[in-house]
Amino acid sequence: MKPLGPKLRHRVGFYSFAISRDSNDDRVQTWVPVAALQNVPAEVLTGAGAEAVRSGQPSSSVAARITLRWQSALNAPYGLRVTHGDDIYHVETHYMDATGRRWITLVCQKGVADG
């Protein structure tokens, strides 16, 4: 019998954007790990890459679809970064299964928004 869900053979981590102050009281922009969302089992599927010239500079991007078990910490995944190994993906949109409480699929982009 074929399993009904994705094969969760990858591990991903989630990071949120934060602004803090350093010892000189200057603003520092960083990405901090979301504690409840580290080493999460997921299925990471990447598509074909795309290359373009933006502002006179060549750039490339790769689309990815990351599926994992639904978790309440992912109710608003926009603005999060997802790491898979050395790859960093930016969440663009998401959708859920029919029940809304079983699987969540994140549509992500790697490359263009890295910074």
Confirm or reject CATH 3.40.309.10 for domain 10-110, answering yes or no: no
Q: What dihedral angle (degrees, nearest 10) is formed by the CA atoms of 38, 113, 105, 45?
A: -90
pLDDT at residue 15 tops 60: yes
Render pLDDT for 59-81 as a digit per residue (tens, 0 to 9).
Answer: 556 789 999 998 888 877 888 99
Q: What pLDDT is recorded for position 114?
A: 44
Report domain extents, the chain: 10-110
Amino acid letter for position 30: T
- pTM, 2 dp: 0.77
Residue 97's H or E segment, with its range, is: none
What percent of the chain is predicted at pLDDT more than 70? 79
pLDDT at residue 7 tops 90: no
pLDDT at residue 97 tops 90: no
Q: Please report, for residues 38, 39, 60, 105, the alpha-carbon distance to residue 74 in angstroms, rounded to integers and kept in the order given.
A: 12, 14, 27, 10
d(CA 97, CA 45): 17
